[in-house]
Structure 1
Amino acid sequence: MKSIIAAGTLAFVLAAPAAQAQGSAPLLDLTLYGQLERWLGAGRLDLQNLYTRRPGDDSLDFHAAVDGRGTTFTLMQVSNAGGDSWLVGGYNPQSWSSVDGWHVTERSWQRTAFIFNYTDPRVWRQVASDDVLPSRGARQTYNVPDHGPTFGAGPDLLVNDRLDTALSWQVSYGLLEGETEGRSIIDLSSGGRLFRVDALEMYSVSVVPEPANAAMLAAGLGVLGWAGMRRRRRLRAG
C-alpha cells in the first residue's frame, strides 16, 4: 500500500537549513516566461508579480498578498544540503485562500492545475477522474493560514508556514507516461526529503487578447457607443 501524507499535519514539523536571503534578480526571465506560456497553452500571457518573499516573512504574509487574486504561477528556487538547486513551481487556476481548506475538483475538466520542475523539465498535471482511483487527482490545492502554497494531497508540492522549507511527495499530480507516485518532483527521490526554499515568488496570470480579437472587441464597443448615441438623440428630438 502506498503511503499518503496529509498536508494538514506538516506545517509545524518541517525543518530544513535556514533559508538564504533572496537575491535581487527575479526568478522569472524571458525564457521561463515562454516555457510557462507553452505549458499552460492559453496563448500570450501577462504575468504580474504579486509577492516576493522577504526576510522574516511567513505564510500569513503570503496569504495577505495573493488570496483572492485569481489564477497564479508559483515559482520557487530550492536547494539541498549538497548545494544542488532546482527551480520548481505550479499553476493554480483558482484563487488562493487562507480559509477554504482543500479546493476539491471532482471532474476532469476542473483539473487544470499543474506543477513543474523547470531545471529538469517535467510537468505533472492533475490526475483525471477516469483513473482507476477517480478521487486521486481531486485535491487541487490546500488553503489554510499556516501553509504556504501547497498543491495536491501528497502533498505533491508544499511550502511550510515559515516559507523556508519545501517538500514534494507526488500523488494527486501525475505524468502522462510512467508512474512516479510517491516521488519528489524536485529530485525524483522517495521518502519525503526536505529542501531549503531560497526564493519564492507569485505571479498573477492573465491572457493577452490576440490583435484580431482586440480589434473585434474595439469595433463592437464602437458600435454599441454609436447605437447609444443615436438613441439619446432620438429621445432628445422626441
Structure 2
Amino acid sequence: AKHQAKVYGQPLDSAPTMAVPHLDTRILDGKKTLLFGPFAAWTTKFLHKEGSYLDLPLSVKADNLSTLIKIGLSNLELVQYLVQQGTQSMADRMEVLHVFYPGARKEDWKLIDAGIRVQAIKKTDGEAGIVHYGTEVITNADHSISALLGASPGASVSVNIVMEVVKKCFPYLLERPEGRARMKEMIPTWDEDIKLPQNAARYREVSLRANQLLQLA
C-alpha cells in the first residue's frame, strides 16, 4: 500500500547504514502514528526484557578480548556516535526532527523504546573481526537451527530470508509435489530466475501484477 509519510534523509558521517533518519507512518494499537528516528543508544543487555546488564561483561572471554579491543579502536567514530546519541536530550532530538518537519512541536512527540539490536562482529579474511551491518542467516552444520544476525530486515527481504531457511533446513518440503505446488501458489516465481534476459517478459508480467496488488500502478 502507498505510504502517507515515508521520507528518508542522509545518515551522519559516523552513523551506520541502518541509522538513516526517516519519517514513517505506522498503525499502532489501531491508531495512525507518525514516527521519526532512529536514535541510537547502548546497553550491556543482550535481550530487551529478560536480559541482564551483566550479559556483555560475562561474554568477554580470553579468546575474544583482542577482537573487541580491535573493533573499538578501529571504529572510534562509531563509538563517539553512540556516546553522542546516548547522551542526547529531547531538545537535541527535536532539532534533528526539525530538519525533516520544521513545524514539529515538542508537546506532540514522545520518546519510545523501539527495541534492541545485538551487533554482530564477524571474522573475515584473517582479520580479528569487523562490525557487520548486513543481514545474514547463520545455520549450523546439521541444519537443525538457523539464526538471523545483523540489521533488522524489512518486508522487502523477509520472504527471501524465509526461503533461504526453508531451502537449508527443510529441503524435503520442496522435494514433494505438494510442497512445490504450495510454494508455487504462494510465490509463483520461486523456482524461476526472472533476472535472466530471456525472462524479461516474465519479469514485466510479475512486476505489473505486484504493482497492481500494492495499488502502485
- TM-score relative to the length of structure 1: 0.23
Question: Which fold has the larger relative contact order, with Cα–Cα distance below 8 Å and residues 6 or more apart in sequence?
Answer: 1
Higher-helix-fraction structure: 2
TM-score after normalising by structure 2: 0.25
